[in-house]
Chain A
Amino acid sequence: MTFDAQTIKYLVIDILASTIPLATPLILAAVGGVFSDRSGVVNIGIEGMILIGSFTGVLTSYYTRNPWLGFLMAGLSGCLTAWFHALASIKYKANQTVSGVAVNIMATALTGFLLKAIFDRAGQTERVVKLARWTIPVIKDIPIVGEIIGSGPPPVYIAFIVVALAHIVMFKTVLGLRIRACGEHPEAADTAGVNVALIRYGCVMMSGFLAGLAGGTLSLGELSLFKEGMSAGKGYIALAAVIFGRWTPVGAMWASLLFALADAIQLIAQNWGFTLIPQEFMLMFPYVVTMAALAGIIGRSTGPAASGKPYVRRGV
């Protein structure tokens, strides 16, 4: 193979065009993670919520043949799952990591069970109607850019809209100010008359909704079926993106894109038959970057001060 300009151009376009869809579920889940964390609840359960979402999405589309309804139900099922996590960590002041891990284990077991019970198959469901690709009129005609983002599964575009909305909510609205207050200093928020529990419930469930949509993206946006364990660690990578993106929606988006880029390079390297860097190293990339970020090697990241701590109004 020769590396003339043309080949490199194809290679780059190929990589970038695969990056965006790979990033989409990460972006959705990570923006959700930003909300949860910012309000003071760590949501490790995102992984499980993605899985539940991807299953529910396929299930709905299977029975209704309406993939959009499936996509919506994916979000709502994630939201419902998150409600359990919220209940455990806000009302019952449980350890949030334990509760989140429990959600993940339960999600794996539940989807595996339902797969067998409803579809009577192991491993994966049959094919269902998936979301039709969108083509964006003007953009598709721009050279290079058009090839990368001119058309794609709808969740891709939805994800970027979500990022913009999330940014506005978090930093321009009253709600955002209160969310951030709850994550930094719940007592201060409480004494100022903010309902800390309500805000936290809302944020955790929002994060579940977005994680569910991320699941729907996997099963109805890219594929058209559910596979056992199809979240494949995306929830954890999304959490890494939350941290690396410094707990902001836009930062989380860039981090997701970066991690997806690493993934895309790895996939395309395989397709083109490169074995320069072992695949395993590329898979490690998001985690290594996150650890470096946390250790302060790449800038300093400190999360919301009260994140992970249940809020107890002392002595009531």
Chain B
Amino acid sequence: MGETALGAPVLEMKGITKRFPGVLANDGVDFTLLKGEIHALLGENGAGKSTLMKILYGLYMADAGSIRVEGKDVEIREPNDALRLGIGMVHQHFMLIPQFTVAENLVLGAEPTTGGVFLDMKAAIKKVKQVSEHYGLAIDPTARIMDISVGMQQRVEILKALLRGAEILVLDEPTAVLTPQEVAELFTIMRNLRERGKSIVFISHKLKEVTEISDRVTVVRRGRVVGSVQTSTTTVDALAGLMVGRAVELVVEKGPSNPGDDVLVLQDVYALDQRRLPAVKGVSLTVRGGEILGIAGVDGNGQNELVEVITGMRRATSGKVLLKGTDITNWDPRRLSGKGVVHIPADRHRHGLVLDFTVAENMVLQTYYKPPFTRGTSLNWDAIRHEARRMIEEYDVRTPSEDTRAGSLSGGNQQKVIVARELSRSPELVVAAQPTRGLDVGAIEFVHSRLVKARDEGKAVLLVSLELDEIMALADRIAVMYEGVIVGIIDRDEATEEQLGLMMAGAAGRGGR
């Protein structure tokens, strides 16, 4: 392994075709990876990127096509085959066991032993330390996965692949869950690995990232390759066009806001987190009709808990939440939903979707008990399907039909199902947490325009995002949250990235703490 010269192909996938019920996910895809390059795989939600990589990793079987690794024809029937061939993958949704330690996760499947039977944890920890030092990826082998940050978890995933001797590393949307600092660290790691002759496939929807880190880009659209280019010869706009097949507005068109009455008022709200430690520590703020209030902050500074309090998923331990003057503190989600509070949750698998339900069922999760979806005591499936088809059309959800299991949609299309359901419920208040996580540029453009539209119709929009770009593009006013408190609220027009960055790091407040 590894005898391929730099710049020569280490991996050639030819004519890969994969059909799922109702979708042609890969349609004769050719993909070549050179030794020592970072190769970005770009494409709309549902274009077939993850599918192609899962075929490479032995999780799916291709219906047709061939794979060559280091010039030899290979057959990859299961992950073990891929691992043996030096192919490692960091999945879009992490494959780590939360209860296990870092070292246990790392050695699982190829454990060092004493006597061939007993787990040799000392050797495991030593090996982990060696590899992590070799690649400059510091990690505590004895920490439990559930206690470490997402960025660290990703590091574990990368190490897992390296430990198994990966020469080819697939990173499926590795940056979607990272903070900007963590992204910067990841890029350093990637460059470092490239230096050592590893070849990396990098999937991302963020064109800026792609142009920054990759050497070449292959663009997939609806299961087919539409082009492969040298990154240095292209631009963000050109890539966006190639991806979506039309020109994309990368900046949001939006007029000045026209704020009306107070819709959401928080008065000195306190709440605890999962571990029963204070997470929200006296937050007061107001969102008016006709404006978008953005909450910026580094992940884990109480934003999630705050959103959960507003949407009835977490108890406020003290303080008040008012909606148009009505005290809605600690109402349950169904009652809030009846009052016109809609919620696009940050964790789509835990809170947004029932993965085993169909798209149509997911789309009426909050409204199924009301006419026209209910007739007497039974569901009116005609009406439900009809409405689902309308939403699929309007929000461009890429799904074979409304009867498809939500869990089988691509990550981005799952997100669109949620956005469609929530925004079509004529809301008073929209609470959007990471509404575009994992979406392609076209879909982001669409969701952004819908949020602006809601604003222009006089709705109040509370936007929580870890991406400063998104906040800057959409918000009319920006609140920065740090360690459970709002450290300042500024008008968008007065805000600069530098200032916000400082506030997010807890370095500067506005008007004191």
Contacts and interface: CB of A to CB of B under 8 A. Distances in A.
A305 B98 CA distance: 10
Interface string A182-196: 001101111111100
A173 B110 CA distance: 13
Contacts of B426: none
B97 A181 contact: yes
Interface residues of A, number: 24
Nearest to B60: A315
A130 interface: no
A283 B131 CA distance: 56
Contacts of A194: 108-109
A114 interface: no
Q: Which of B61, B83, B111 has the most chain A CB atoms inside 10 A of its CB?
A: B111
Interface in A146-192: 172-178, 180-181, 184-185, 187-192
B86 interface: no
Interface in B33-61: 51, 54, 57, 59-61
B117 interface: yes
B61 A192 contact: no
Interface in A190-244: 190-194
Contact of A316 (B61, B89, B160): B61
B111 A177 contact: yes
A276 to B, nearest CB: 41
A315 B118 CA distance: 35
B64 to A, nearest CB: 16
A187 B79 CA distance: 11
Contact of B96 (A172, A178, A185, A193): A185
Given A172-B118, A177-B104, A191 B59 contact: yes
B160 A192 contact: yes
Interface of A is mostly: helix
Given A173-B119, A174-B118, A176-B119, A187 B408 contact: no
Contacts of B60: 315-316
Given A181-B100, A315-B60, A315-B408, A191 B95 contact: yes
A191 B89 contact: yes
A313 B59 contact: yes
A189 B109 contact: yes
A80 B98 CA distance: 34
B117 A193 contact: no
A190 B83 CA distance: 12
B104 A191 contact: no
Contact of B109 (A172, A187, A192, A315): A192
B95 A188 contact: yes
A316 B109 contact: no
B95 A192 contact: yes
A316 B119 contact: no
A237 B79 CA distance: 40
B408 A177 contact: no
Interface string B267-311: 000000000000000000000000000000000000000000000
A36 B3 CA distance: 45
B113 interface: yes
Contacts of B118: 172-174
Contacts of B59: 191, 313-316
Given A174-B119, A191-B95, 20 more contacts: A172-B118, A174-B111, A174-B117, A174-B118, A180-B99, A184-B99, A187-B95, A188-B96, A188-B108, A189-B97, A191-B79, A192-B109, A192-B160, A193-B109, A194-B108, A305-B99, A315-B54, A315-B60, A315-B408, A316-B61
Q: Which 4 A-B pairs have the closest CB atoms?
A: A192-B109, A193-B109, A188-B95, A193-B80
Interface of A: 172-178, 180-181, 184-185, 187-194, 305, 313-316
30 contacts: A174-B111, A174-B118, A175-B117, A177-B104, A178-B109, A180-B100, A181-B97, A184-B98, A185-B95, A185-B98, A188-B95, A188-B108, A189-B108, A189-B109, A190-B79, A191-B89, A191-B95, A192-B95, A192-B109, A192-B110, A192-B160, A193-B80, A193-B110, A194-B109, A305-B98, A305-B99, A315-B54, A315-B60, A315-B408, A316-B59
